């Protein structure tokens, strides 16, 4: 089993190269440890492309709002803190492929309860975006998104329901203009 000085681990964590701090001179090879270390460092870099890792680390250590999430209260299978821990453990692709993330309502209760105003809603919003880009989002969301791009709206109002309530027709919406803007912004 490789043995390290604390200072060596700190130097590694600060970004020094293994050879620079003499890890290649250990009597017991540290190669297998370094392989795992470098894989974890790669995972963190990948995570940092999309998230503020320092905020994820704070949430993972804190978990104070764990019992306040309205979704957790009715569906204990949704555990946002476990999802944050999975991200930090380098399982981003697994989290994106898992439908659990779609259970977050982005209600911001966690942010309101958070003494540091961090919250997890933005993390879940970003995860959903990544899932959509990876083609791992629910079909209903993909269909709604395609409809929004096409028509600039998520659906037409039901005139029959309005008539039943004695309401007049809605004025012309601006869906076409929104769709045109969306198309132009993609060009």
Residues found near ligand SF4 in the complex (CB under 6 A): 58-59, 62-65, 69, 71, 80, 104-110, 113-114, 116, 118-121, 124
Nearer to ligand SF4, 122 or 147 (CB): 122
Nearer to ligand SF4, 34 or 55 (CB): 55
Minimal distance, residue 147 CB to ligand SF4, in Å:
25
Minimal distance, residue 89 CB to ligand SF4, in Å:
16
Q: Is the dihedral of CA 162, 167, 172, 173 positive or negative?
A: negative
The helix (H) or strand (E) run that includes residue 24 is: none
Minimal distance, residue 75 CB to ligand SF4, in Å:
10
Residue 97: which of 125, 62, 137 has the closest Cα?
A: 137
Nearer to ligand SF4, 119 or 137 (CB): 119
Minimal distance, residue 26 CB to ligand SF4, in Å:
38
Helices (H), the chain: 6-13, 31-48, 53-62, 70-74, 80-88, 92-97, 109-113, 121-133, 139-151, 159-164, 175-186
CB atoms under 10 Å from CB of 148, counted, come to 16
Whole-number Cα distances in Å, 14 to 7, 8, 11, 173: 10, 10, 5, 55
Nearer to ligand SF4, 29 or 116 (CB): 116
Helix, strand, or coil (residue 96): helix
Nearer to ligand SF4, 67 or 172 (CB): 67
Minimal distance, residue 40 CB to ligand SF4, in Å:
22
């Amino acid at each position: 089993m490789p043995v390290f000085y604390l200072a060596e681990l700190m130097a590694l964590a600060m970004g020094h190269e293994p050879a620079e701090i003499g890890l290649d001179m250990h009597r017991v090879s540290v190669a297998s440890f370094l392989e795992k270390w470098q894989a974890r460092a790669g995972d963190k870099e990948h995570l940092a492309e999309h998230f503020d890792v320092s905020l994820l680390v704070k949430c993972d250590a804190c978990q104070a709002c764990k019992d306040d999430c309205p979704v957790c209260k009715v569906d204990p299978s949704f555990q946002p803190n476990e999802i944050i821990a999975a991200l930090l453990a380098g399982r981003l692709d697994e989290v994106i492929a898992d439908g659990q993330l779609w259970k977050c309502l982005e209600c911001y209760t966690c942010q309101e309860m958070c003494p540091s105003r961090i919250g997890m809603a933005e993390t879940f919003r970003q995860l959903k975006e990544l899932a959509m880009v990876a083609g791992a989002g629910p079909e209903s969301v993909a269909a709604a998104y395609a409809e929004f791009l096409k028509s600039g709206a998520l659906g037409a109002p039901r005139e029959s329901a309005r008539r039943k309530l004695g309401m007049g027709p809605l004025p012309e919406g601006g869906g076409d203009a929104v769709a045109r803007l969306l198309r132009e912004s993609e060009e």
